[in-house]
Amino acid sequence: MRGTNVRGTNVRGKRAETTIASMPQGRRYIVESLRRPAGAGPASWDTTVSRLEELGVMPGETVEKVGTLSPAGPVVVRVLGSKVALSKDVADLVIVRPAPKC
Amino acid sequence: MLVALVGQPNSGKSALLGCLTGAKVFTSNYPGTTVEVTEGRVPGTGITVLDTPGIYSMRALSKEQQVTRKVILERRPRVIVNVVDGTSLRKQLPLTLSLKSLGIPIVLAVNQADRMKELGIHIDLDVLRKETGAEAVLTSAITGEGAETLLQAIEKAAASGAGEDGPSAPFSSHEPCRSFGPYDLRDLHEAASAIADRTVRLRGASGRRSPAEYLDRLLDRPAASWLVLGGLLWAVWRFSSWALPFAETSVRMILNPLRVHAESLLRAVLPRGPLAETLSEAVPEGFILPMATVLPAMILAYSLMAVLEDSGFLGRMAALSDVFTAALNLPGQSMIPLTLGFGCRVPALMAARILPGERSRRTASLIIATCVPCTATISLSLAALAKFRASFAVPGVLTAVSALTIGWAARLIPGGQKEPLVLELPPLRIPSLRNIAMKTQARLRGFFSHALPLLVVVNSAVRVFMSQGLPAGANVSRFSRVYLGIPPEALWSVLLTMFQRYLAPLFLMQQNLTPREAVIAVSMVALGFPCLPSAVVLWRENGARFVLLTFLTSLILFIGWGMVLNLILPS
């Protein structure tokens, strides 16, 4: 995973986070935050965040992975009842935590 | 009275317009079907309905969404009918809530009632009315349910209308704004969640999966989706290589007696002379060639396109091809306009509006305008190649390489990488045969009504010119023969792509070419100038400078490849 070193901790020394890209299939997760990528220009990142928000990929919403279209390719998640395809580099940036079981 | 249908992509606005006005409208199953505003009148009332491209929010990120924003703010409809997909109310409500701040009366059309019934989704309209403060009506554009009630609700909303003062402060029509107006995005989502919790009930779902749902789940697996995509392409290729020659022979056989009659009739009517001789052969031929060569290919391509659009597979294809389109420096969404381009480039260039950024939009437009040949061009080019027994592979490979080159060159322009893929996948549906037939027929009629007369006229003109000898200066002639290895007449036909690309192979077919000359000439045609209609769209969408850039690009491409082929092909 980008931004993490060998011990599985990221640059700020926290435990490696689960992202949409790394979360397992078939379990519900809650979006915690969107991480800004290292090299992205502010304009294009803002647009990407806005487009994610429009589709419901935003902090507080529940997401569930339904499939990965190829090892390096897009991840398909179910959010707000619809399926959304995200390219791998975007999926890497969305940090999630497991949803409480009920 | 002006009423605007506004809603999220793929909620069924166009279908509802068709249902209200009785007009024939194209509907498809992918977000971004509608990229411009269309208008219709409801018969027997004074209501004019505007159908708008789908928007997720008033921020309007992509170009087609800005169209909607502009239309709301500038034309100020008396009533906004917010079309929401009843099967995903929770997702649709944030837009509803943000529309409220416009100060225009809103009527909620809870659409796709037929699918809601199938899925066992029940929405409590009374609670929805109370929570949103807007009249809510259950509609289904498929069955026509709720159309009357919706019209009554519109009249009522207009009568109560506070719509006189127009949009309130937070929105200006000039630039896409970053906020949701007076609302915070998170608040909107929380409010939407709360409303959905109180209104949506699941009951009486059949629990049985429909075939479409089954396929939908299957396609989430990578192996299955690649197999389906590959299988589809293979099947189309196999089918077309069997069906198209068969169709061509049959059409020619059926039309041949007509041709003979037309020829002798023209000979009898026209005054004797070499001109009459040429015309009486060229005119019937101008009719038969498109019927035999273009029509079967078009029926096949357009119905395939309609199936892809209606089934929702086009969206899947876009997500799958993100890996490939990355080579063109484009996000996967661009597969939608690129695929449409193989049908006709005009709608494809319009569809480029759905791409997320200016940069992707322009790159995709450039590739479509220069490297994506339409069905008519492909079928006539193949006919020309077959006639001269020339290689099919060379023009195909060259177009692909050229597209890759443009994508590579676009990467060099400062401004960063391609926008990443973020795309909503519509649920798969079994496409209705009626819709496919209607679309194919309308598109065919659109093509043949203007192409058939043009083909007859150009075919005759070319024949006349060929029989008289073309005016070619010594310099042009030398350039063409020495550098490109083709006769000057063939170079003229390549330049004909400026009017319509498919006229060029037609012109070539009238000439006597060696296989080598044919390969070079057809390759140059395949990368020829954008045709007149697509140049007009390019101008409207991107401005005059971009049209100039496109013409320059194609000039470099076809002259360059012509010279390269002339150097490397064995003579």
B424 touches chain A (CB under 8 A): yes
Mean pLDDT across B497-505: 86
Supply the ipTM of this predicted assembly: 0.84
Q: Hey, which bits of B372-495 come out as E strands?
A: 422-425
Beta bridge partners of B135: B107
Residue pair A85/A66 in contact by the 8 Å Cβ criterion: no
Tokens of B179: 């906020």
**Which of B91-105, B198-212, B539-553 is predicted least confidently?**
B198-212
Tokens of B219: 């396609």
Number of A/B CB contacts below 8 angstroms equals: 113
Residue pair B294/B464 in contact by the 8 Å Cβ criterion: no
Tell me the C-alpha distance between B390 and B367, whole Å: 25
Tell me the C-alpha distance between B335 and B331, whole Å: 8
Q: pLDDT at position B322, please?
A: 87
**Upper half-sphere CA count for residue A75 (Cβ side, 13 Å):** 22
Q: pLDDT at position B107, please?
A: 95
Beta bridge partners of A78: A64, A83
Contact A69 B225 (CB under 8 A): yes
Q: Which of B179, B418, B421, B429 to mutate to test the interface with A (most CBs of A within 10 A)?
A: B421
B115 touches chain A (CB under 8 A): no
B420 touches chain A (CB under 8 A): yes
Residue from the list B319, B420, B422 with its beta carbon closest to the beta carbon of A55: B422
Cβ of A100: how many Cβ atoms within 10 Å? 7
pLDDT digits (tens, 9 = 90+) for B461-495: 877 777 776 666 778 888 888 999 999 888 988 88
pLDDT at B365 over 70: yes
Residue of A nearest to B92 (CA): A80
Q: pLDDT at position B154, please?
A: 94
| Integer angstrom CA distances of residue B486 from B89, B371, B430, B480, B499 | 62, 21, 49, 6, 21
Residues constituting chain A: 102
pLDDT digits (tens, 9 = 90+) for B218-232: 888 878 888 988 998
Contacts of B491 (CB under 8 A, 6+ apart): B476, B479, B480, B484
pLDDT at A6 over 50: no
Residue from the list A44, A59, A86 with its beta carbon closest to the beta carbon of B357: A44
Using only C-alpha atoms, chain B has a radius of gyration, in whole angstroms, of 27
Burial of residue B321 (number of CB atoms within 10 Å: 0-12, 13-18, 19+):
buried
Tell me the C-alpha distance between B375 and B352, whole Å: 19
CATH topology of domain A18-98: SH3 type barrels. (2.30.30)
In A, which residues are within 8 Å of B423 by CB distance?
A: 84-85
Tokens of B38: 């269309």
Q: pLDDT at position B329, please?
A: 87
Q: Hey, which bits of B297-378 come out as E strands?
A: none
Tell me the nearest-neighbour CA distance from A66 into chain B, angstroms.
6
> CA torsion, points B14, B16, B19, B25, in degrees to nearest 10?
0
Q: What's B223's DSSP letter?
A: H
Residue of B nearest to A54 (CA): B56
* Displacement of CA B459 from its chain's centroid (Å): 28
Tell me the C-alpha distance between B357 and A53, whole Å: 16
> Between B180 and B375, where is the model more confident?
B375
Tell me which residues of chain A have a C-beta less than 8 Å from any C-beta of chain B: 40-41, 44, 46-48, 50-61, 66-70, 72-74, 76, 80-87, 89-90
B179 touches chain A (CB under 8 A): no
pLDDT digits (tens, 9 = 90+) for B329-352: 898 899 999 999 998 899 899 999
Q: pLDDT at position B5, please?
A: 95
pLDDT band at B416 (very low <50, low <70, confident <90, very high): low
Q: pLDDT at position B125, please?
A: 93
Tell me the nearest-neighbour CA distance from A32 into chain B, angstroms.
13
pLDDT band at A12 (very low <50, low <70, confident <90, very high): low
pLDDT at B177 over 60: no
pLDDT band at B564 (very low <50, low <70, confident <90, very high): very high
Tell me the C-alpha distance between B419 and B62, whole Å: 12
Mean pLDDT across B387-405: 93
Q: pLDDT at position B164, please?
A: 46
Mean pLDDT across B4-32: 89
pLDDT at A1 over 50: no
Tell me the C-alpha distance between B204 and B201, whole Å: 10
Tell me the nearest-neighbour CA distance from A1 into chain B, angstroms.
18
Domain boundaries, chain A: 18-98
Strand B79-85's sheet: what is its strand order? B38-41, B48-51, B2-7, B79-85, B106-111, B135-138
CATH topology of domain B2-202: Rossmann fold (3.40.50)
Tell me the C-alpha distance between A92 and A22, whole Å: 7
| Integer angstrom CA distances of residue B320 from A69, A76, A78, B3, B337 | 6, 10, 17, 38, 15
Q: For residue B30, which amino acid is it?
A: Y
Q: pLDDT at position B169, please?
A: 42
Q: Which residues in chain B are classed under CATH 3.40.50.300?
A: 2-202
Q: What is the mean pLDDT of chain B?
A: 86
pLDDT at B163 over 60: no
